[in-house]
Structure 1
Amino acid sequence: MENVKIYLNFFIEYLQIEKNYSQYTVVNYATDIEDFFSFMKEQAILHLEEITYNDTRLFLTQLHNRNYSRKTISRKVSSLRSFFKFLVREEKLSENPFSLVSLPKREQKIPQFLYEEEIENLFSISDCTTPLGQRNQALIEVLYGTGIRVSECCNIRLTDIDFYIGTVLVHGKGGKQRYVPFGSYAQDSIEHYLSQGRKLLVSRLKEPDQHSYLFVNHRGSPLTDRGVRHILNELIKKASSTLHIHPHMFRHTFATHMLNEGADMRSVQELLGHAHLSSTQVYTHVTKEHLKRIYMSHHPRA
Structure 2
Amino acid sequence: MRLLNAKFDSQLDLFFEFLKFEKGLSDNSLLSYQSDLKRYIDHLADLGKSSFTEITRDDLRKFLKSLFESGLKQNSIARSFSSVKNLHKFLVSRNLSEVDPTINLERPKTLRKLPEVLTKKEIQDLIESPNVNTPTGLRDRAMLETLYATGTRVSELVNIKCRDLISNENILRIRGKGSKERIVPISDIAIEWINNYKINSRQNFIKINASHSDPEYLFLNTRGGKLSRVSVWRMIRAHAKNIGIEKKIHPHTIRHTFATHLLEGGADIRAVQEMLGHSDIGTTQIYLHLDKGYLKSVLEKYHPRGKYVQ
Q: What is the TM-score when the length of structure 2 is the normalising length?
A: 0.89
Residue in structure 1 matched with residue 146 of structure 2 by the alignment: 142
Residue in structure 2 matched with residue 32 of structure 1 by the alignment: 36
How far off its partner does 1:36 sit? 1.5
Q: Which one of 97, 102, 123 corresponds to residue 98 of structure 1?
A: 102
Residue in structure 1 matched with residue 263 of structure 2 by the alignment: 259
Give the aligned residue type for 1:86: F
How far off its partner does 1:140 sit? 0.5
Q: Distance in 2 between matches of 1:240 and 1:284?
A: 27
CA shift digits 1:170-229 (9 cap, x unpaired): 111111111111111101111111111112222222222241211122232222112112
Query: Is the aligned partner of 1:174 residue 2:178?
Result: yes
| 1:207-246 aligned within 5 A | 207-246=211-250
Q: Distance in 2 between matches of 1:106 and 1:48?
A: 26
Q: Aligned residues, how many? A: 298
Q: Distance in 1 between matches of 2:45 and 2:246?
A: 49
Q: Which one of 78, 85, 90 corresponds to residue 74 of structure 1?
A: 78
SS in 2 for 1:203: helix
- Contact 2:116–2:247 under 8 Å retained in 1: no
Q: Distance in 2 between matches of 1:202 and 1:46?
A: 53
Q: Distance in 1 between matches of 2:287 and 2:273?
A: 11
Q: Distance in 1 between matches of 2:94 and 2:227?
A: 42
Query: Is the aligned partner of 1:58 residue 2:76?
Result: no
Query: Is the aligned partner of 1:160 residue 2:164?
Result: yes
Give the aligned residue type for 1:164: N
- Contact 2:116–2:248 under 8 Å retained in 1: no
Q: What is the TM-score when the length of structure 1 is the normalising length?
A: 0.91
Give the aligned residue type for 1:128: V
Q: Kindly tell me: are residues 218 and 16 of structure 1, through their superposed partners in 2, closer, same or farther at Cα, counting changes over 3 Å? A: closer
Query: Is the aligned partner of 1:200 residue 2:216?
Result: no
CA shift digits 1:30-73 (9 cap, x unpaired): 33233213212211233433321111111110000001111111
Identity %: 34
SS in 2 for 1:170: strand
Q: Kindly tell me: are residues 194 and 147 of structure 1, through their superposed partners in 2, closer, same or farther at Cα, counting changes over 3 Å? A: same
Residue in structure 1 matched with residue 129 of structure 2 by the alignment: 125
How far off its partner does 1:113 sit? 0.7
Q: Which runs of 5+ in 2 are unaligned?
A: 298-306
Query: Is the aligned partner of 1:276 residue 2:280?
Result: yes
Residue in structure 1 matched with residue 302 of structure 2 by the alignment: none
Give the aligned residue type for 1:261: G
Q: Kindly tell me: are residues 126 and 34 of structure 1, through their superposed partners in 2, closer, same or farther at Cα, counting changes over 3 Å? A: closer
Residue in structure 1 matched with residue 188 of structure 2 by the alignment: 184
Q: Kindly tell me: are residues 111 and 289 of structure 1, through their superposed partners in 2, closer, same or farther at Cα, counting changes over 3 Å? A: farther
How far off its partner does 1:93 sit? 2.1
Give the aligned residue type for 1:107: L
Residue in structure 1 matched with residue 301 of structure 2 by the alignment: none
- Contact 1:8–1:30 under 8 Å retained in 2: no
How far off its partner does 1:94 sit? 2.0
How far off its partner does 1:114 sit? 0.8
Q: Distance in 2 between matches of 1:280 and 1:120?
A: 23
- Contact 1:53–1:100 under 8 Å retained in 2: no
SS in 2 for 1:164: helix
Q: Which runs of 5+ in 1 are unaligned?
A: 294-298
